[in-house]
Each structure stands twice: as C-alpha cells, then as structure tokens.
Amino acid sequence: MKSKTKLNQTSFLLLITIVLFFAMYMIGCILFKDQGFAKTQNFLNLFISNAGLIVIGVGMTVVMITGGIDISVGSFVAMGCMMLAWMMEKGGVGAVPAVLIVLATGIVFGLVQGFLVAYMDIQPFIVTLAGMFFARGMTAIISKDMISITNVTFMAWAKAKVYLPFGGRLNKKGVMIYPYIYPTVIIALLILIAVFIMLKYTKFGRSIYAVGGNEQSALMLGLNVRKVKLKAYILDGFLCGVGSILFCLNTLGGFVEQAKGFEMDAIASSVIGGTLLTGGVGNVIGTLFGVLIKATIEAFITFQGTLSSWWTRITIAALLCFFIVLQSVLAMIKKKK
C-alpha cells in the first residue's frame, strides 16, 4: 500500500511555492532590516493591499480548474468600483444597497458568461474577452472622469482597523503599538477558507475537478457538465463582485483605467500556485501564496527604492517561466514512469 504522506505532484508544486515565498520573505528581512521589512505590520500589509486580488484569484482558480479562463476580471473590478463610486456619490444610493447591487451585477455577469461558455459552446477566452471589453466600456459610459468616494458609511468600513492582540512593538515614545489589519483581509481569508472547503469536501467542488480533469468521462459518470461549468462561472462572477468591493475599499474611487492588467495578475497567481490551465488540477491555498509572492516582489521594489517599477513585471515573468517549466518537466517525468 502506498503511504498516504507521500507527496504527489500537485502538493510538491504547492510546497515549492510556499517555500519560495518564505525564502523570499527571509531575504527581504535580511536585506532591508533597517527599513523595517521584518515588522509584523509589513507582513500584514501584503494582505491589506491585495485582499481584492486574493478573492479574485480564488474565483479564477475555480474557473481554471474547470478548464476555462476568465480574463474579464480586471475590467469588472473597474466597473464595480465605478458603479460603487457613482451610486454613492452621484446617485444618492446608500453604501449597503450599492454593495448589494454590485454583488448582484457580479452574479449576473457570471451567469451570462457561464451560459455562453457552457450552453453555447463558445471558447471561454472569447466569451470573457467580450466581457472584458464590455465591462471596460461600461465603466467609461458610467463616467469618464474619476469619482472619489466620500460616503460616510463606506469610509467608516474602509478605515475600520482591526488590531491584533499580539505581535506589538514599542515605538520611540514607549507606547505599545499593535499591528492591525482591515476587515477586507478577514473577508478575503474567510472566502478563501470557504472555497477551499467547498472544493475539497462538497459534491459540487469535486465535480468541478472531475469536469476539468476529463470532460468526457465526467459526462459518462452522469455529471451534468454544462451545469457544473455554469455554476463555476456564477461563483466566479460573485467572487469578482466581492473582489471589486474589497478593491474599492482600498482605492476609494473609480476611474476608467483602474485595475488594468489585473486579470493577468490573477492568472499568474493561480499558475504560480500550481493550477494548470488545462484544468483538473489546482488549489486555492496555492493561489494565496501566488498572490503573496507577487506582493513580496512589489514590496522588494518599494523598499529598494532605486529599481524602476517595470522590474516587478520582469521578475514575475521570470518566476512564471520557472514554475511553468517546472510543471512541464514534472509532467514529463511522470509520463516516462
């Protein structure tokens, strides 16, 4: 009998991602010790600035496990932020209804895209490409000018700090300062855990893997492949809605060019986290670490100070290259066995 603790290919990739993240963080701590890289707050900032990306990355992972892709997420975030800003500032809608409307829009968006992919058999890339154009154009139709949010309730949500009861350090005046996070981080992590459990233990979660692994055999096993795909896109749409709200709580405004290239960040995070674009393989925990790796690279560049911003993209691409080649080599070794 095979020992259960033996690492399979997927957990090996996940392990590498996690080890790499901690290694990078350690290097950062050593290199930028004087600037406070090692502070607990700095670690938490990785989560704070990327709460939206975590949620959207999770949605992307779910869709990618079914063998699809969603490149409309960046534009949707722009549209979601713009909708929130416009409704609260120009439309006189309260913060709660505005948030609910954005969530509903996300679900409808997912429903339409899911229908076109699952029931019309159009390639996910083309469908979500159209979705991307649509959402970005809609943002411009709502308003061409930037709208900043001043709504009192929304600002209160955005500014509500949650202090952690541990990890505090004394400042220069001798006052104990505890590290803090925003509620957005808690929401993001709760969603991550919920989706993790859903993928691992529920019937729906397992059918997502089955459909992505082999559509034909899933069909033969009696799974309603189209329905599973549709549901996956609806879930993804909902998570996009949540993600855009979290993103907006961080940026507090809406403008047309917002979150450009966000979809590629989400895809790159998923791929670095071990999700295969061919479907059937993937893990949301990996996606979280993918996001954190991207955040660490950005933190590196901020702390270093002299490097230009484009080094972020080049480094991420190099990492992507490393992981992708590793995945393919592992797959080849497995095949030879």
Among 120, 152, 170, 220, binds another protein (CB under 8 A): 120
CA 249 vs CA 48, 50, 52, 313: distances in Å: 10, 11, 9, 25
Among 116, 187, 218, 266, binds another protein (CB under 8 A): 116
Size of the site for another protein (CB under 8 A): 48
Among 256, 288, 293, 299, binds another protein (CB under 8 A): 256
Q: What is the dihedral of CA 189, 190, 195, 198, to 10 degrees?
A: 140
CA 43 vs CA 3, 50, 167, 180: distances in Å: 36, 12, 11, 11
Of 295, 336, 243, 306, which Cα lies nearest the Cα of 24?
295
Q: Does 318 bind another protein (CB under 8 A)?
A: yes
- What would you report as the CA-atom Rg of the chain, rounded to the nearest whole angstrom? 21
Q: Greatest CA separation found in the chain? A: 69
Structure tokens at 29: 């701590």
Among 31, 186, 329, 333, binds another protein (CB under 8 A): 329
Question: Three-state DSSP class for 147?
Answer: strand
Of 273, 278, 317, which Cα lies nearest the Cα of 16?
273
Least distance to another protein, CB of residue 226, Å: 10
| E-state strands within 40-193 | 147-148, 162-163, 169-170, 176-177, 180-181
CB of 114 or CB of 179, closer to another protein: 114
Interacting span for another protein (CB under 8 A) from 12-20, 132-140, 202-210, 228-236: 132-140
Q: Does 271 bind another protein (CB under 8 A)?
A: yes
Structure tokens at 151: 């709504």
Q: Does 266 bind another protein (CB under 8 A)?
A: no
DSSP for 263-300? HHHHHHHHHHTT--TTSS---HHHHHHHHHHHHHHHHH
Question: Three-state DSSP class for 253?
Answer: strand
> How far is 231 from 28, CA to CA, in rounded Å?
41
Among 278, 304, 333, 334, binds another protein (CB under 8 A): 278
Among 277, 285, 301, 330, binds another protein (CB under 8 A): 277
Among 134, 154, 247, 300, binds another protein (CB under 8 A): 134
CB of 259 or CB of 271, closer to another protein: 271
Least distance to another protein, CB of residue 327, Å: 8
**Contacts of another protein in 139-178 (CB under 8 A):** 140-141, 144
Interacting span for another protein (CB under 8 A) from 1-9, 15-23, 298-306, 314-322: 314-322
CB of 84 or CB of 271, closer to another protein: 271
Least distance to another protein, CB of residue 48, Å: 24
**Contacts of another protein in 43-102 (CB under 8 A):** 69
- Binding positions for another protein, rule: CB under 8 A: 69, 116, 119-123, 125-127, 129-134, 136-138, 140-141, 144, 256, 264, 267-268, 271, 276-278, 308, 310-314, 316-318, 320-321, 324-325, 327-329, 331-332
